[in-house]
A and B are shown apart, each in its own frame.
Chain A
Amino acid sequence: MSAHFKKKGQSKQEIPTASLPDIIFMLLIFFMVTTVLRETELLVITRLPQASAVEKIDQKRLIQYVYVGQNRETGESGVQINDALIDDMTDIRDAMYRRLVEEPATIVSLNVDREIETGYLYDVQQELREADALRVNYSTASEAPQ
């Protein structure tokens, strides 16, 4: 009997912890990869035009996205900044002004629908000029549009 107990006490019952950091690391990477940082839901239709003389913008943190296109529900032309539609054109000015205070080198990426009239685009641009957000990028599609 006593021999039986002794043997049980001798066997190692510990969980090996040497690989624990690796497991944590793995999980960390997994979540880093799968987490989508604030996916903007487009409330306007933006079918981008194609162009060839394009440049790449590497500094993603400088970019402020502005979407111009037809509203998905009402069909009217509308402007979306981040994830909200703009009610009034002058709101663009305020939003851009606030953004420029935070990041003076902001580049405004204009995602404009192909069918939008340039007159409407000019109105948006006038607002950008009012806010002194002068660096713009006309976002284009590289492949054939869907």
Chain B
Amino acid sequence: MPLLKRRTKRDAEIPSGSMADIAFLLLIFFLLVTTINTEKGIYMQLPPKLDEQVEPPEIKDRNLLVILVNNNGDVLVEGEFMRVDAIRGEIVKHITNEGRDPGYSENPDKAVVSFKTERALSYERYVEVLDEIKGAYIDVRNQYANQLAGVDYPTYLARLDEDDVDEVKEKYPLKISLAEPDPG
């Protein structure tokens, strides 16, 4: 008889108090384990479709820095051969010229970098040169942000409020022209 009595008293419930904790633990685990692969790459704006009626805007020769890469992967800046690691400095010089040297741009707002390649060039080289061009702009922007706020451009950008004017971008707008490719 005492044996039967004990049986009735026994609590048959599974303790559920910690269930929520287990669920949360699992949630956190999966949140951490899941990799959110963000897309990384070189962002570019393609030129709009050519309109026959509208004449393309005139750009003064001094404001335009023409970079041409031929099929062998040789880089020609304004018609002169240049090493890939040297073009970054050349572009920085071009953007930040402020009208001092007559061979370079009048001001950063007017400065345009034109990038063109021959058709048989490999994409790897294309990205390599484009990377340098982008890098030059990043360098210039970082420098200016450092002058303004004493921090790098991304940090400066993160500190801006939504209605604040991005002065760095205003001063050094990204003007890379992907030139019309040659036919054939």
Min distance, Cβ A135 to any Cβ of chain B, angstroms: 6
With contacts A119-B120, A138-B44, A138-B130 taken as known, whether A109 is within 8 angstroms of B39 at the C-beta atoms is yes
Question: Contact size class for A?
Answer: 35 or more
* A80 interfacial contact with B, CB 8 Å: no
Within 8 A of A (CB), among B125-151: 126-128, 130-132, 134-135, 138
Contact of A57 (CB < 8 Å), options: B38, B130, B132: B38
What is the interface size of chain B, counting residues whose CB is below 8 A from a CB of the partner? Answer: 47
Are A52 and B131 interface neighbours, CB within 8 A? yes
B146 CB to closest chain A CB (Å) equals 17
Q: Which residues of B contact A52 (CB under 8 A)?
A: 131, 135
| B49 in contact (CB, < 8 A) | yes
A137, CB-defined interface residue at 8 Å: yes
- CB within 8 Å of A: which B83-136 residues: 117-124, 126-128, 130-132, 134-135
**Closest beta carbon of chain A to B18's beta carbon, Å:** 9
Which residues from 12 to 39 on chain A have a C-beta closer than 8 Å to any C-beta of chain B? 12, 16, 18-19, 22-23, 25-26, 29-30, 33
Chain A contact surface mostly: mixed
**Chain B residues within an 8 Å CB radius of A26:** 22-23, 26
Interface residue? B72 (CB, 8 A): no
A22 contact from B8, B19, B41, B178, Cβ within 8 A: B19
**Min CB–CB distance B149 → chain A (angstroms):** 20
Task: Assess whether B119 is in contact with A118, with CB atoms less than 8 Å apart.
Answer: yes
Q: Which of A12, A49, A112 neighbours the largest number of chain B CB atoms within 10 Å of its CB?
A: A49
- Other than A12-B12, A29-B23, A117-B123, give 15 A-B pairs with Cβ distance below 8 A: A10-B8, A29-B27, A54-B40, A55-B40, A55-B43, A110-B41, A117-B120, A117-B122, A118-B122, A118-B123, A119-B118, A122-B181, A129-B48, A139-B39, A139-B41
What are 14 inter-chain pairs, A to B, with CB distance below 8 A?
Answer: A7-B8, A18-B19, A19-B19, A51-B134, A53-B42, A53-B134, A55-B43, A118-B119, A121-B123, A135-B43, A137-B42, A137-B43, A138-B42, A139-B41
